[in-house]
Amino acid sequence: MGKFIVLLLIAAAVSAAHQRVWESVPRHWAPWAPLAVDDPLTPVSQWKLRRLADDPRGCLAALDTVPNDEFAYTVLDDHAPVAGCPLENVVRVQGSSVDFNASFVASCPLALAWVVFERQRLQPAAEAVFGSRLVGVEHYGSYSCRNVYGRASGRLSEHATAEALDVAAFRLADGRRITLLGDWADEGEAGMFLRKARDGACDLFGNVLGPDYNAAHADHFHFGMRGFHLCR
């Protein structure tokens, strides 16, 4: 009996030690910890984001970590606006630290990726390059029931499930307007900012396509949730 008690005590001590080790892992490195929008980004962050595609409650809980109501959205019921392109786990994004030219429907993970990108990569890039915050983002939309590139056949686009957003321009608090079409080739601040934005987006989205990818993206960034780190 004495030996058995000793073994139990040893097992308890080992278990407690392991628990302390797990608890000491920072939440932004811990795969089991829920994602919060202001957690520092790590390689684990994108994995957590992808996991939320099948976890609507978890995704909405993560959106609710945006402080001070700085992200305006409405939860939408699952529905099929167009036959063949049903929408599930979606929200309508209405505003954030920037004004959008129009609200847009987004899968919850896309909305979450956007707000993290905006807070942790996009606004810091604008402040670093221009010394000014962004106040507006102009986009071409998110949901469109179509195949890739609008082809008559082939696989459905990410837009068919509202898992992608096409962004064309950015407006700064000082009045400047930066566009993909007009400023991508710029060798000064505008071009530098657009490249910082592209590179920062690659930390969150599954694929980021822009003018360096092909002519079809000469005037916008495609921020999509699928794919595996295609960043062009």
CATH for 185: 3.30.1380
Tokens 């905006």 label which residue?
118
Same domain, 18 and 82: no
Computed over every residue of the chain, the mean pLDDT equals: 88
Note the pLDDT tens digit of each residue in 168-215: 999 999 999 999 999 999 999 999 999 999 999 999 999 999 999 999
Quote the domain boundaries for residue 22: 1-27
Amino acid 21: pLDDT: 44
Percent of the chain at pLDDT exceeding 70: 87
Q: Does residue 32 lie in a domain region?
A: no
Same domain, 93 and 176: yes
Q: How confident is the model at residue 19 (pLDDT cuts 50, 70, 90)?
A: very low
pLDDT of residue 16: 39
CB 46 within 8 A of CB 204: yes
Cβ partners under 8 Å of residue 223, min gap 6: 110, 113, 114, 117, 164, 165, 166, 167, 201, 205, 208
What's the one-letter identity of residue 147?
Answer: N
In a domain, 144, yes or no: yes
Work out how many domains the chain is built from and give that number.
2
Q: Are residues 98 and 178 in the same domain?
A: yes
183 and 80 within one domain: yes
Same domain, 16 and 94: no
Pair 108, 211 in one domain = yes
Banded pLDDT at 147 (limits 50, 70, 90):
confident
Residues 179, 78 within the same domain: yes
